[in-house]
Amino acid sequence: MTLTTLDERSVYLREMIIKIAEAIRRGHIPSAFSILEILRVLYDNILKYDIGDLKWQLRDRFILSKGNGCLALYVVLADKGFFPKSELLNFCKVDGLLGGHPETKIPGVEVSTGSLGHGLSVGVGFAINAKYEKKDYRTFVVVGDGECNEGSIWEAAMCAGKHKLDNLVVIADYNKKQTYGTTYEVQDLEPFVDKWRSFGFSVREVNGHNLEELNNVFSNLPIEKGKPNAIICHTIKGMGIKFLEDSFNWHHKSGITDDEIKSLYDGLRNKK
């Protein structure tokens, strides 16, 4: 489950993240690299939205529940025109728009996230509301695998199954690494797929960096009428730079040096 080559757009989006790190010298870079292909496919091909009317009632709702991966969301939103790209270099600055976790003041952000486990509960509420109002928008929620240690994730999943929310799509970033260890060491999630099925979800597993697999599964939703959807994306934390993929020290990095910035650029270019 690897990509030997990143295409031009995937490299470009990662370079945007490195530029942010170069400007502010901090960030959750590997967590962002893990979900970049998922987000680019969603925003390029799948989600219904209107840049000219961000409150369009029939827009699809997207929630990044694993808010520490926000750099991926920010570069995709900027690239799609939700806000100027120049704002990216003000990340985490006092007078900047973009904080260390997504906030609703940011154009295109539906829910403030970062308290892990909360985003899915809000997504269930969005999906229930769409059913109640008989509107055909969908809600997509990206959760982290470490985040799935939270009991609130499974409370939300139980509720989604009860209400047969086939307009809800849970996307699990299953990179199998948390802040300081693997998911197997910290809190083993297996059998992960069966857990979602036991809560009434229809489940598909995909390579979370394979654009064709992602596009195919997202283009054929719901998987099963009357059941919420769980897409288990097998990913690589830090995908695109080898030393990020292997290091827990980079989960959140602050005080990034000039040499480390150069290593990030060089490591990414070697993936082209």
Cis peptide before 228 (omega within 30 of 0): no
Please, what is the end-to-end C-alpha distance for the chain in angstroms? 18
Average pLDDT of the residues of the chain? 94
Q: What pLDDT shows up at residue 27?
A: 87
**Closest by CA position to 115, among listed 158, 178, 184, 65:** 65
Question: Model pTM greater than 0.85?
Answer: yes
pLDDT in tens, 228-261: 999 999 999 999 999 999 788 888 888 999 999 9
- The DSSP 8-state label assigned to residue 59 in this structure reads P
Domains observed in the chain: 8-269 (3.40.50.970)
Judge whether 173 and 69 are in contact, CB under 8 Å: yes
- Cα 152 to its chain centre, rounded Å, is 18
- What is the phi/psi pair of residue 141, to 5°? -130, 120
- Distance of alpha carbon 137 from alpha carbon 190, whole angstroms: 32
If pLDDT is split at 50, 70 and 90, which confidence band does 271 have? low
| Token pair 């969603």 in the structure block, residue | 42
